[in-house]
Amino acid sequence: MEGTVERTASALGEITSSFEIIIAEDGSIDGTDKICESLAKKYDFVHHLHSDQRQGRGRALNRAFRASRGEILGYIDVDLATDMSHLKELIQSIRDGYDFATGSRMLPQSNVKRPFKRGFASKGFNYLTRLMLGSKLYDHQCGFKSFRREALFSLIEKIKDTHWFWDTELYVRAQRAGYRVKEFPVVWTQGGTTKVNLVKDVFGMGSQIFRLWYEFLWD
C-alpha cells in the first residue's frame, strides 16, 4: 500500500503542485485499515476514510469524492494495474476541456495482459452496454478515470448502483447528458488478487444493464 501511495504521489508531483490522495478503505478485516491510518499520519496529502462495514465499491467512491476538495477528481485501482505513465494524460484530458476521461483496455492501441476468460467476459459486458445503453465507449470499467468536479456532482445522485456497475452507470449517464467524454488506450496488467467473482458479478452487472435500459425506456 505504501508503495502505491508513493508512486502515485510521485507521478502527481510531476503534474501539479497541489494534490490529495484519498484512500476509501471499505470495511477491511485484514489489517489494511491500520496501514491506511499510518499512511495518513505519515503523509499530509493522504486522507483515510474508514468504514466498519462493507458498503460496496460504488458507495466507497461516493464517500471519497464527497470528501475531496479538488476541481479535477479521479480514481485509480490500488494495484496500479494501469501503467502510471498514463496519469498525465488522464489529468490533462480534463484540463483540455473534457468533462470525463477514462483509460481503455479495449482499444486497438491498448496493451493488456489478463487471463482469457476475464478478457472474454469483459468484452461481452462492454458489448451489451454499447448495444443496449447506447454508449460509445469500448471499456467502461477500467479503474483509471478522471472527472471535472461540477460534471461529476451533477450526476452522482442519479447513480443507483453501489458496487461494480457504478462507473459504467456514471459514464453512460454522462454521455446521455451531453458531457464530453474521452477514452484513450493504456498499458494494463492484471494484479495478483481480484475481488471480482466472475460468475456472481457478471450476472449482477448484466442485471444492472437491463435495469438501466428499462429506466431509459421510460425517460
Residues marked active site are found at 167
| Residue 158 CB partners (closer than 8 Å, separation 6+) | 173
Cα–Cα distance between 214 and 219 in angstroms, integer?
A: 9
Order of all β-strands in the sheet with 72-76: 72-76, 144-148, 100-104, 181-185
Q: In the chain, how many H helices and how many E strands? A: 8, 8
* Beta-bridge partners for 112: 188
**SS3 state at 88:** helix
